[in-house]
């Protein structure tokens, strides 16, 4: 499947933001590693051994199953956690205007989005995730999924995801999942990189272009993504 990716920051980088070094040591070094190790063992010698994680998720997800199989569970949780580490961080707290506008258009305001996102995460019975996704029609939606199920299963573009398995918050917040979710949105979310993905992969609502500018007498390049949401069908 792949190897365990390193955290994009030190284990203690989020301590002042509500996620302790101990949580990251358990969550990343033990739980995430277990998904990678178990997933690699399960796919060894199978048709999935040479496939991408995304292909494994799509190919093994069973919409009719009461419980997903082991290959799916470990592959999807590996993907989920890899995204999660990128979605949080010590920097990048300011929400870019493009996302703020789309959230206002789809939810009424950022505060209403926060309420809906927190309610989804708090209302997920047992283990799972809550997500901000871009659906196939281009609209933004808050969703929740059980266990390791993720937006890839529904052909949705993932913009934000929060782990609501107890191992993600119990050391720091005990059983106060709503407080963990509020802290996630207020202090931990690393917005910019996900917004770049949203702009580049806008589903169904936009046309545009990527333009690269090379700076004379320099090795630097500037890349501009130009999009409009008023494209004709």
CATH code where residue 30 lies: 3.55.40.20
CA gyration radius, the chain:
19
- Is residue 143 a part of any domain in this protein? yes
- Please answer whether residues 161 and 148 qualify as being in contact, where contact means their C-beta atoms are separated by less than 8 angstroms: no
Number of domains in the chain: 1
| Domain span holding position 81 | 15-200
- How many angstroms separate the CA atoms of 85 and 27, rounded? 10
- Is residue 166 a part of any domain in this protein? yes
- How many angstroms separate the CA atoms of 166 and 176, rounded? 10
Task: Give residue-wise pLDDT tens across range 97-132.
Answer: 888 899 999 999 999 999 999 999 999 999 999 999
- Is residue 177 a part of any domain in this protein? yes
Task: Give residue-wise pLDDT tens across range 2-49.
Answer: 899 999 999 999 999 999 999 999 999 999 999 999 999 999 999 999
The pTM of this model reads 0.84
**Beta-bridge mates of residue 141:** 133
């Amino acid at each position: 499947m792949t190897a365990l990716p390193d955290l994009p920051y030190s284990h203690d980088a989020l301590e002042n933001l509500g996620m302790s070094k101990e949580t990251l040591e358990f969550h990343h070094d033990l739980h995430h590693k277990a998904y990678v190790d178990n997933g690699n063992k399960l796919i060894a010698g199978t048709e999935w051994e040479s496939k991408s994680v995304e292909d494994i998720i799509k190919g093994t997800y069973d919409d009719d199953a009461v419980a997903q199989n082991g290959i799916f569970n470990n592959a999807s949780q590996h993907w989920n956690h890899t995204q999660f580490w990128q979605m949080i961080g010590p920097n990048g707290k300011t929400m870019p205007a493009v996302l703020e506008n789309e959230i206002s258009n789809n939810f009424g305001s950022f505060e209403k989005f926060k309420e809906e996102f927190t309610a989804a995460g708090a209302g997920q019975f047992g283990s799972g995730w809550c997500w901000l996704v871009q659906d196939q029609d281009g609209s933004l939606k808050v969703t929740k999924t059980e266990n390791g199920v993720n937006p890839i299963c529904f052909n949705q573009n993932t913009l934000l995801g929060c782990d609501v398995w107890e191992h993600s918050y119990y050391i720091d917040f005990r059983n106060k999942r709503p407080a963990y979710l509020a802290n996630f949105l207020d202090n931990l979310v690393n917005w910019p990189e996900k917004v770049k993905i949203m702009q580049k992969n806008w589903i169904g609502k936009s046309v545009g272009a990527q333009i690269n500018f090379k700076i004379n007498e320099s090795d630097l390049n500037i890349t501009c993504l130009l999009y409009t949401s008023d494209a004709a069908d």
